Amino acid sequence: MKTDDLIKMLAQDAAVSFRLAPMMWAMLLLGVSASATLLLLKIGIRTDIAEALFAGRVLFKLGLTLLSALLAVNLLLRVGRPGADLRLPALLMMIPLAILILGVLAELLTVPPSLWAINMMGRNAMVCLVVIPFLSLAPMVGAMAVLRRAAPDSPGVAGAVAGLAAGCVAAALYAWRCPDDSPLFVAAWYTLSITAISVTGYMFGKRTLRW
List, in order, residues 6 or more apart from 43 with CB less than 8 Å away: 131, 177
Is 61:175 a contact under the CB 8 Å cutoff? yes
Confidence (pLDDT) at 211: 66
Comparing CA positions, the residue from 105, 85, 93, 101 lying closest to residue 164 is 93
Q: How confident is the model at residue 19 (pLDDT cuts 50, 70, 90)?
A: confident
pLDDT at 100: 98
pLDDT-above-90 percentage for the chain = 76
Cβ–Cβ under 8 Å, residues 194 and 93: no
Please tell me the predicted confidence (pLDDT) of residue 186: 97
**3-state secondary structure at position 149:** coil
User: What residues make up the domain containing 7?
Assistant: 3-208
Q: Can you point out the beta strands (E) in the chain?
A: none
pLDDT of 151 over the 90 cut: no
What is the C-alpha separation between 147 and 142, in angstroms, rounded? 9
What is the reported pLDDT for 2? 52
pLDDT for 5 beyond 50? yes
- Longest Cα–Cα distance of the chain, Å, equals 65
Sign of CA dihedral 113, 46, 143, 70: negative
Pair 167, 32: CB distance under 8 Å: no
Number of domains in the chain: 1
Residue 203 C-alpha from the chain's centroid: 16
Mean pLDDT of all residues in 36-47: 92
d(Cα 190, Cα 210) in Å, to the nearest integer? Answer: 30
**Cα–Cα dist 67/74, whole Å:** 11
Taking 80 as the threshold, does the pLDDT of residue 3 lie above it? no
55-112 pLDDT per residue, tens: 999 999 999 999 999 999 999 999 988 888 899 999 999 999 999 999 999 999 999 9
